[in-house]
Amino acid sequence: MSLKGKHIGVALTGSFCTYEKVFQELQKLADEGAYIQTIFSNASASIDSRFGEANDFVKKAEEITGIKPMMTIAEAEPIGPKALLDILVILPCTGNTLAKLANGITDSPVLMAAKAHLRNNRPLLLSLSTNDALGMNMKNIGLLLNSKNIYFIPFGQDNPEKKPNSMIAHTELLIPSLESALEGQQLQPIIC
């Protein structure tokens, strides 16, 4: 399935170490000819870290997509009633956002986008990046794996010796994961 002309939401949360790869994938999506609406969580819109300045990431997202990022819950809400997106990916998805999503909490622009989009019975893809995937968040991953319209970019352990509970998505599989999810399929193998 071609992504050309598809309306794709890309919601960024505060796993800043992944941003270099995330922006490479964003560029690839833009090159495919998709309309890309980015959405920033409060953390992703405000935290400056050793991985870069928040404002620079917001600017870069607008440069790549040509569309102003959504930065507030009020801006993200119309995704539901106006059915703005064919698919939404949370890229990257922190442990924080994953846990809230699994428990029906909607207190950031990204979670508002997810809730609004899911109400339309359309696919939501998650690009996991969290140090507690095999710990505190395992139960939430289990809940989401078993939830209607939710898919995962295949993921695996990134540093079993130093971070035994950490798991991270293979962001380079974004495009095939989007294509599969749009067809109602989970890209396999999911753990790799």
Name the site residues for ligand FMN (rule: CB under 6 A): 13-17, 41-44, 47, 49, 94-97, 108, 129-130
Q: Which is nearer to ligand FMN, 150 or 182 (CB)?
A: 150
Q: Supply the minimum distance, in Å, between the C-beta of residue 51 and ligand FMN.
A: 6
Q: How many angstroms separate the CA atoms of 142 and 152, rounded?
A: 11
Query: Residue 136 to residues 27, 60, 88: CA-CA distances in angstroms?
Result: 33, 33, 25
Q: Which is nearer to ligand FMN, 108 or 180 (CB)?
A: 108
The residue (of 6 and 115) whose beta carbon lies closer to ligand FMN is: 115
- For ligand FMN, the closer of residues 42 and 72 by Cβ is 42
For strands 167-169 and 124-130, give the pairing. antiparallel
Question: CB atoms < 10 A from the CB of 117, how many?
Answer: 25
State phi, psi for 155 to the nearest 5 degrees: -140, 165
CB of 162 to ligand FMN, least distance (A): 14
Least separation in angstroms between CB 168 and ligand FMN: 8
Least Å distance, CB 17 to ligand FMN, is: 5
Residues near 178 by Cβ (< 8 Å), separated by ≥ 6? 3, 8, 29, 87, 89, 125
Between residues 130 and 177, which has the closer beta carbon with respect to ligand FMN? 130
CA distance 138 to 163: 15
Q: How far is the CB of 47 from ligand FMN (least distance, A)?
A: 5
Rounded Cα distance between 120 and 174, Å, is: 22
